[in-house]
Chains A and B, each alone.
Chain A
Amino acid sequence: MTIAVRTFSQLNEAASAIASDRDAAFFGGGTLIMRGINEGHAHISAIVRTTDAEFRAIRTAGSNFEIGAGATMSDVLANRELSFLHEAARAVGGPAIRNMATVGGNLFARSPYGDFTAALLALDARVAAAGSSGGRETPLADLLRDRERNGHGVISHVSVPRPAGGAEMRFVKVSRVKPKGVSVITIAAYLPLSGSRVQGARIAYGAMAPTPVRVAAVEQALEGKTLDASGVAQALAVATDGTSPASDPIASEWYRREVAPVHLKRLLLGQPA
């Protein structure tokens, strides 16, 4: 088996190359594709990659941050303005993986991976494709919903709204292996507070469905509530509504459902994980 490697200096050229070759895969940091090749189930004839510096750039655009899809988890950690994403970036692997794994690649990581994407969902991120439809941003949730049957394309950047003043970003990745392991459940919570009451919370899970998902039932149950034991009770009662966790070597579906409200409670009440 040999795979053609096609490297382009411009992202748009790489996007065109991918669009015209159904058996090619776009290569970000390699942590997913190279694993597939090592395990013998990457059915691709070509790797398309770009050395475009723009693809890795992180910039501010009005009230949004535009994170190039080629930015690594280490790039996110090196950016002080993105501190609200640091916990999620640190949850991805050890230092070597973080020097390789990209923000764009994480959007396509199969469950139980994709912890960073859960945080992006809670932050209401949007994604933009490179090439012909370039620049047009669509909700991240739409990309995730369609990602298995979507055609070929390349994400150019992820657009993340700057968290509102007074809003809290909380994140937990639950793993049975310490300090680092694969996710049993990952929870990202964006909690805007009006006084002491929650207004417009966004809660996302990783490893609780084929892709990271928002949990609308929990969000609605938190509306107008305070973050104390009685305030979060209703949210905990519906903690697994709309989820479809898998049974895999990390945890069974039953176990994931059982522990979801426990970890959601600790996160919402600010108790240690």
Chain B
Amino acid sequence: MTKTPLQFRLNGAEKAVFTEGGQNLLDVLRREVGDFAPKYGCGQGACGVCTVLVDGEPRLSCLTLAETVQGQAVETTSGLADGPELHVLQTAFMEHFAAQCGFCTPGMLMAAKALLDTNPTPSRDDVVEAISGNICRCTGYEPIIDAILDAAHNRRRSA
């Protein structure tokens, strides 16, 4: 059994784990580190529920070979809130009822964060494109799109 040491930053904190050959990043986050925010959905790249940010860019953690994030910064929904202060996206999702069953929410939030971090003034089309790799079977997407646009607006106002 080959185990490879892996070091990376998770939501700002240094992590050092051993990974098995061929193990994906989602598996490392959930089993080795204990961050259960990103979920396992399809394992194929179709659903987006495992979306995390690697060096600020959205990636599908179930299709990311764990060893490729060596020395990089990984962000998950667990790192969004600042203590009791919710992230502007989390508040907007709450206010717009953008989460029903909640399974897609961690992926939606990370896809949305990647958008707002690079484009503070997104159009509705930009938002649709940003979450085009994320499937939601409850909301019909409209509340999610509204929440992300509202979060962008609120973030600009408080900046």
Q: Determine whether A139 belongs to the interface, using a CB cutoff of 8 Å to chain B.
A: no
Find out whether the CB atom of A95 lies under 8 angstroms from the CB atom of B67: no
Once bound together, how far apart are the Cα atoms of A96 and B132, in whole Å? Answer: 10
Q: Which of A4, A7, A39, A47 is close to B44, meaning CB atoms less than 8 Å apart? A: A39
Q: Determine whether A180 belongs to the interface, using a CB cutoff of 8 Å to chain B.
A: yes
Once bound together, how far apart are the Cα atoms of A35 and B24, in whole Å? Answer: 10
Tell whether A5 pairs with B67 under 8 Å between CB atoms, given A34-B62, A100-B59: yes
Q: Determine whether A53 belongs to the interface, using a CB cutoff of 8 Å to chain B.
A: no
Q: Could you list which residues of chain B lie within 8 angstroms of chain A, going by C-beta atoms?
A: 1-2, 4, 20-22, 24, 43-45, 48, 51, 57-60, 62-65, 67-68, 111, 114, 128-134
Q: Which residue of A lies closest to B64 (CB)?
A: A30
Find out whether the CB atom of A2 lies under 8 angstroms from the CB atom of B132: no
Find out whether the CB atom of A2 lies under 8 angstroms from the CB atom of B44: no
For residue B77, give the distance in angstroms from its CB to the closest CB of chain A.
14
Find out whether the CB atom of B45 lies under 8 angstroms from the CB atom of A5: no
Find out whether the CB atom of A179 lies under 8 angstroms from the CB atom of B24: no
Q: Which of B63, B64, B68, B132 is close to A179, meaning CB atoms less than 8 Å apart? A: B132
> How many residues in A have their beta carbons less than 8 Å from beta carbons of B?
26
Which of B57, B65, B67, B134 counts the most chain A CB atoms within 10 A?
Answer: B65
Find out whether the CB atom of B133 lies under 8 angstroms from the CB atom of A31: no
Q: Which of A47, A93, A179 is close to B65, meaning CB atoms less than 8 Å apart? A: A47
Once bound together, how far apart are the Cα atoms of A34 and B21, in whole Å? Answer: 12
B114 contact set on A, CB distance < 8 A: 95
Find out whether the CB atom of B58 lies under 8 angstroms from the CB atom of A35: no
B60 contact set on A, CB distance < 8 A: 31, 96-97, 100
Once bound together, how far apart are the Cα atoms of A234 and B133, in whole Å? Answer: 38
Once bound together, how far apart are the Cα atoms of A96 and B112, in whole Å? Answer: 11
Q: Which residue of B lies closest to A46 (CB)?
A: B21
Find out whether the CB atom of B65 lies under 8 angstroms from the CB atom of A96: no
Find out whether the CB atom of A37 lies under 8 angstroms from the CB atom of B22: yes
Contact with B along A158-196 (1 / 0, CB 8 A): 000000000000000000000110000000000000000
| Extra pairs beyond A34-B64, A37-B24 (6, CB < 8 Å) | A2-B1, A2-B20, A5-B22, A38-B43, A47-B21, A94-B132
